[in-house]
């Protein structure tokens, strides 16, 4: 009988300790979110930005953006949430190319820039690329996409499902050509 009472008391004490522990282990959702969430506040914000990048006293590019947001952390990045426009210059300070996009993000560690929504690229030969997503890998010096592309040259309009190119968009390969439209040049119109 003493053994049963001891066992009963022991079980009762264990149950009380368990209930006390469960009652005291309350998770405050706000505290959990505060501890586990990453800070999404920009370190620096610039509105109506105009940045000129030079190297050896020569202008390399001129970037304009309605808003630039810089973020830190383990994967720091720069966000262009309202779009970006960049003019590229040659060594004689002539515009060598141009890019516009409605949104862009530059990952600082990987040096990978992603542009999205209504991207327009013009190279020094006045060839025009239109697409909805474009990546620029600064380490590999190439641009690429697997989205639908339209390229307009002096003689053709080419449609495809992707593109790989050098940085200045002068040597490119369309990965899946859907069609080509030949355009009349002024010389050909005069012959008719």
Residue 178 pLDDT > 80: yes
Q: How many residues does the chain have?
A: 192
Q: Which residue has the higher pLDDT, 119 or 59?
A: 119
Q: Measuring CA to CA, which residue among 85, 128, 123 is closest to residue 103?
A: 85
Instruction: Give the pLDDT confidence score for residue 38 in this predicted structure.
Output: 55
Reported in sequence order, the residue ranges of 15-141 that DSSP labels E, i.e. its strands, are 44-55, 58-71, 77-80, 84-89, 95-101, 103-107, 112-122, 128-137
Q: Which residue has the higher pLDDT, 188 or 146?
A: 146
185 confidence band (pLDDT: 50, 70, 90): low
DSSP, collapsed to helix, strand or coil, labels residue 67 as strand
Scanning the structure block, which residue is given the tokens 């190279």?
A: 123
DSSP, collapsed to helix, strand or coil, labels residue 156 as strand
HEC readout, 33-59: HHHHCCCCCCCEEEEEEEEEEEECCEE
- What is the overall mean pLDDT for the chain? 81
At 20-51, the pLDDT tens digits run 444 444 444 544 444 444 557 888 999 999 99
64-73, 115-124, 182-191: segment of lowest average pLDDT: 182-191
Cα angle, residue 50 at apex, residues 96 and 77 outer, rounded to 5°: 95
Cα-based distances in Å from 34 to 17, 28, 29, 41? 30, 10, 8, 13
At 157-171, the pLDDT tens digits run 999 999 999 888 889
In percent, how much of the chain has pLDDT > 90? Answer: 47
Residue 81 pLDDT > 60: yes
Residue 77 pLDDT > 80: yes
In sign, the C-alpha dihedral spanning 75, 79, 84, 87 is negative
Residue 19 pLDDT > 60: no
């Amino acid at each position: 009988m003493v053994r049963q009472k001891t066992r009963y008391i022991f079980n009762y004490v264990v149950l009380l300790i368990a209930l006390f522990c469960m009652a005291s282990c309350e998770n405050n959702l706000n505290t959990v979110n505060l501890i586990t969430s990453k800070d999404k506040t920009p370190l620096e914000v610039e509105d109506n930005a105009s940045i000129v990048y030079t190297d050896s006293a020569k202008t390399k590019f001129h970037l304009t953006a309605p808003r630039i947001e810089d973020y830190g952390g383990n994967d720091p990045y720069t966000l262009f949430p309202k779009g970006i426009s960049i003019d590229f210059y040659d060594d004689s300070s002539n515009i060598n190319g141009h890019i516009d996009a409605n949104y862009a993000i530059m990952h600082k560690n990987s040096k990978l820039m992603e542009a999205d929504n209504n991207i327009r690229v013009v190279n020094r030969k006045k060839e025009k690329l239109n697409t909805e997503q474009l990546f620029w890998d600064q380490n590999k010096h190439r641009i690429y996409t697997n989205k639908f592309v339209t390229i307009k040259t002096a003689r053709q309009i080419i449609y495809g499902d992707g593109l790989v190119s050098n940085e200045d968009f002068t040597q490119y390969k369309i990965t899946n050509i859907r069609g080509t439209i030949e355009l009349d040049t002024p010389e050909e119109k005069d012959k008719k």
